[in-house]
Amino acid sequence: MGKTTSINLVGKDEFEVIMGVFAKCTDDYMFLFDLDKDEYIISEKILEKFDLPGNHFFNAGTVLENVVYPEDMPELTEDLEKLKNGMSQEHNMEYRWVDRERRIVWISCRGVVIQDSTQSQKTKILIGRICEIGSKRKADNVTGLFAERQLLLDYEQLKKDKTYKNGVVLRLGVDNFKEINEQHGMETGDTVLKTIARCMELVRGEKDRCYKLDGDEFVLLMEGTDVQRAREHYHTIRVLIEEQRKMEGYQNFYTISAGVVGFSYEKTDFERLHGYSEFALSMAKKNGKNCSYVFAEEDYEAYVKGIKIQEKLRYAVNHDFQGFEIYYQPIVSLETKQVVGAEALLRFFSREYGMLSPGVFIPILEESGLIIPVGEWVYRTAMRQSMVWQKLIPEFRININLSFIQICKSDVVSGIMSSIGELGIEPSTVLFEFTESGMISYDDSVQRLLDVLNENQVKIALDDFGTGYSSLAYLQNLRVNLLKLDRGFTAKAVVNDFDYNLIGHIVTMAHSIGMKICFEGIETEEELQRLQKLGPDYIQGYYYGKPENGEAFYDNHLRKLEQAS
């Protein structure tokens, strides 16, 4: 973190005059923001487009809320707080404003904090500029490359010329660029961008064209070629960057990812090509970064479908969880061969897509954060249903899955305990399952939840044990009550003596430290007969019943108990 610059600042009236002069020389809006007095001065010409009370006003934080896009305000507020508290001296953000016509305008805002030494108490003042991104610029000031506006113009001209029928776009992005700016400053970030621009210029062919997009992204537009040459260019750029880093003594380490899109000028308009290349780059980063991804139509269609499914999930959440339903799969005691509980499994039905696989919609719930409200609905609904069935089986236990997104990004501890209290369910009949693979995300929030559950007699299970990163340390820290062995594990034990003996030792170990064992995925009489010899406590699988809605579960597993009573 650098030191704040201290200077003898001219008066604010003089600063307004200076801004008026600069307004004739640039399309950018110059500004001065007194962070201590919450006072804001900005180029007067901004009033033509944005609804501000004037070019000089107080209560800046409140006033800016009227022009900053609501979703971007929290991030802006957080960054300004860092400047006020001295945690940062540089401001560099791209976010959205809303103009007088209620249109969204992307802007780039950059500035530095100085201290006005003319004041008796030095005040922190942010001085910088705001520019509208892509609306008028044809060139990028940092790299000297043409900007996105020029890319659009060139593409449309090439499409009209019809010199080539096809082309390829290589879209590059710096991995974790925000961290580079935050840790090393904007000057270092600019150096990285300049290096990439130089490397692109070195590898491009005579007819290829380089462009700098917003943020940390670049485009190489290649005519009449195939995707393989684009991938070769990407590889060469990576080599050149590595050589540059070596020359600099590895002072700055960074990597780049790339999306490659082959296209037909006749069939592809610019907006679609832009979307394709954006998707391709995002896939490269999703695949681990520092790699390239070639656009595939089927992947893009799956991505678009995922967005549509997310919209339907969000609609369902906002309309009393319509379309969501909980299915229940019986858990049977090996000793009594009686149903003693059930696992609550989430299902979702859409008129357009039918009954969606959990493998499709649950990752979307987690990525979007919708798993938080849906997860709460699940455990409250499942507990309520379990209490009804406990009238027939007093010790009936309900198993409920928890996502690590719920644990780490919401106050799920309070939600669970308040639900148990409000509903009046016996805590010891509620069990929460955690997947072993999720333990990679183990942190303090996980430990806090587990401690509270244990203290209140709520049961804990480690699901899919043996399929992830098995560690005895997990068992020690979690203090779990139940280990569940996945079918991928148990099915092998039916035909393989090594796996059979291994599971036998796991059962013995679990029992020796007071844990119970549940075998999942038991589907046939043969599997049951062989595996029950290992002494598990519970069996779960199609042999005893598939997941089904509450009504069917009652009819198939509990009605006879009510009739008998």
Please list the alpha-helical segments (H only) found in 248-370: 270-286, 297-318, 358-368
Which amino acid, 289?
Answer: K
The answer to whether 105 and 135 have CB atoms below 8 angstroms apart is: yes
Torsion over CA: 444, 449, 455, 459 (sign) = negative
Please compute, for residue 533, the number of CA atoms within 13 A of its CA located in the half-sphere on the CB side. 9
Contact between residue 183 and residue 177 where contact means Cβ atoms under 8 Å apart? no
Q: Start-end ranges of CATH 3.30.450.20 in the chain?
A: 5-132
pLDDT in tens, 427-462: 999 999 987 655 555 568 888 898 999 999 999 998
Query: Which tokens is 498 given?
Result: 């090594």
- Do residues 211 and 257 make contact, with C-beta atoms less than 8 angstroms apart? no
Q: In which band, very low, low, confident or very high, does the pLDDT at 119 lie, cut at 50, 70 and 90?
A: low
Rg (alpha carbons) of the chain, rounded to whole number? 30
Q: pLDDT at residue 48 above 50?
A: yes
Q: Which residue has the higher pLDDT, 461 or 473?
A: 461
pLDDT-derived band of residue 319, with 50, 70 and 90 as boundaries?
Answer: very high
**349 sits in which H/E element:** strand 339-350
Tokens of 483: 């280990």
For range 261-287, the mean pLDDT? 95
Count of all residues that appear for the chain in the document: 565
pLDDT of residue 203: 94
Provide the β-strand partners of residue 40.
Answer: 33, 57
In the prediction, which pLDDT does 457 show? 96
In the prediction, which pLDDT does 508 show?
A: 95
Nearest-angstrom CA–CA distance, 357 and 449: 29
Q: Which pLDDT band holds residue 565 (cuts at 50, 70, 90)?
A: low
Within 68-138, strands assigned E span: 90-98, 104-116, 123-132
Alpha-carbon gap, residue 353 to 404, rounded angstroms: 27
Span 5-132 CATH architecture: 2-Layer Sandwich (3.30)
Q: Is the dihedral of CA 264, 270, 274, 276 positive or negative?
A: negative
- What pLDDT, on the 0 to 100 scale, is given for residue 162? 82
Q: 474-489, pLDDT tens digit by residue?
A: 666 677 899 999 888 8
Q: What is the pLDDT of residues 162-202, one digit of tens each?
A: 888 899 999 999 999 988 888 888 888 988 999 999 999 99
The identity of residue 278, as a single letter, is E
Return the pLDDT at 136: 46
Please check whether residue 238 is in contact with residue 232, taking contact to mean a CB–CB distance below 8 angstroms. Answer: no
Span 404-412, average pLDDT: 91
Query: What stretches of 353-403 show up as alpha helix (H) in DSSP?
Result: 358-368, 371-389
Asked if pLDDT for residue 390 goes beyond 50, the answer is yes
Average of per-residue pLDDT values in the chain: 89
As a whole number of angstroms, the distance between CA 292 and CA 283 comes to 9
The more confidently predicted of residues 528 and 140 is: 528
What pLDDT is recorded for position 226? Answer: 85
Task: State pLDDT tens for residues 226-246.
Answer: 899 999 999 999 999 999 888
CA dihedral (509, 512, 515, 518) positive or negative: positive
- The segment(s) of the chain belonging to CATH 3.30.70.270 are 146-295
How far is it, in rounded angstroms, from Cα 306 to Cα 350? Answer: 13
Residue 274 has pLDDT above 90, yes or no: yes
Determine the 3-state secondary structure of 451 from DSSP: helix
DSSP state, residue 1? -
31 phi and psi angles, rounded to 5 deg: -145, 155
- Please report, in angstroms and rounded to a whole number, the separation of the first and last CA atoms in the chain: 73
d(CA 94, CA 294): 28
Two tokens, residue 404 = 């690590």
Better-scored residue on pLDDT, 306 or 123:
306
pLDDT at 474: 64
Tell me which residue of 380, 313, 314, 383 sits closest to 347, measured CA to CA: 313
Q: What angle do CA 483, 489, 491 make, to 5 degrees?
A: 125
pLDDT classification of 19: cutoffs 50, 70, 90: confident
- Please calculate the CA angle 432-434-437 and round it to the nearest 5 degrees: 175
Q: Where are the alpha helices (DSSP H) in 50-185?
A: 60-64, 73-84, 148-161, 177-184
Task: Give the distance from CA 192 to its chain's centroid.
Answer: 25
Question: Which H or E run contains 41?
Answer: strand 39-42
CATH 3.30.360.10 at 146-295, yes or no:
no
What are the pLDDT digits (tens) for 55-96? 999 999 999 999 998 888 999 999 999 999 989 999 999 888
Can you give the pLDDT at residue 251?
A: 76
- Give the side-chain half-sphere CA count within 13 A for 241: 23
Pairwise CA distance, residues 423 & 428, whole Å:
14
| Angle between helical axes of 371-389 and 358-368 (0-180°, round to 10) | 120
In whole angstroms, give the CA distance from residue 372 to residue 294. Answer: 34
Count CB atoms within 10 A of the CB of residue 476: 10
In which element (H, E) is residue 292 found? Answer: strand 292-294
Q: Given pLDDT bands bounded at 50, 70 and 90, which one contains residue 144? A: confident
Q: Rounded CA gap, 176 and 174, in Å?
A: 6
DSSP letter for 37, please: T
Domain with CATH 3.20.20.450 in the chain: 306-564
C-alpha distances in angstroms, 451 versus 212, 213, 324, 431, 478? Answer: 51, 49, 30, 14, 8
User: What is the CATH number assigned to the segment(s) 306-564?
Assistant: 3.20.20.450
The pLDDT value recorded for residue 374 is 98
